[in-house]
Structure 1
Amino acid sequence: MALLISDECINCDVCEPECPNGAISQGTDIYIIAPELCTECIGHHDKPQCMEVCPVDCISQDPDVVEDKDSLYQKFLKISA
């Protein structure tokens, strides 16, 4: 699954620079994650870095974008090619 930032986001700016795929950007009100770029850090790290640094735990898996680890790894290979 791609990750999703909830409206509990406080715009603290710590998640955006941690994303190795550039999937996180400032939205209208809160930060957003582009599902086509999110690999949950597979290929880069053991755990999603945005979730690791978020001080309010407002990042979770997006139930609307279901992907298994192999699909996420294939996306990583495509993005990093």
Structure 2
Amino acid sequence: MAIIITDECINCGACEPECPNNAIYEGAEEWKYAEGTSLEGDFVLPNGNTGNADEDQEPISDEVYYIVPDKCTEC
């Protein structure tokens, strides 16, 4: 499971450019699996879910920065 951004977050955005996997996004921002990865086209995740790397995904949070668990390697 990916590390979550806690309530102590002041929403400054300093974490976003530091993430080597492009797994951190600003609240309400759509994201893609392809961003910061070598994924292209259709794929299957280890949990069996399928998707397309270039499709926009719904934001996980509308208010604060969030981590996309499927892109996080807990570095």
Compute the TM-score of the two structures, normalised by the length of structure 1.
0.47
Task: Give the structure with the higher percent helix.
Answer: 1
Point out the structure with max Rg over C-alpha: 2
Compute the TM-score of the two structures, normalised by the length of structure 2.
0.50
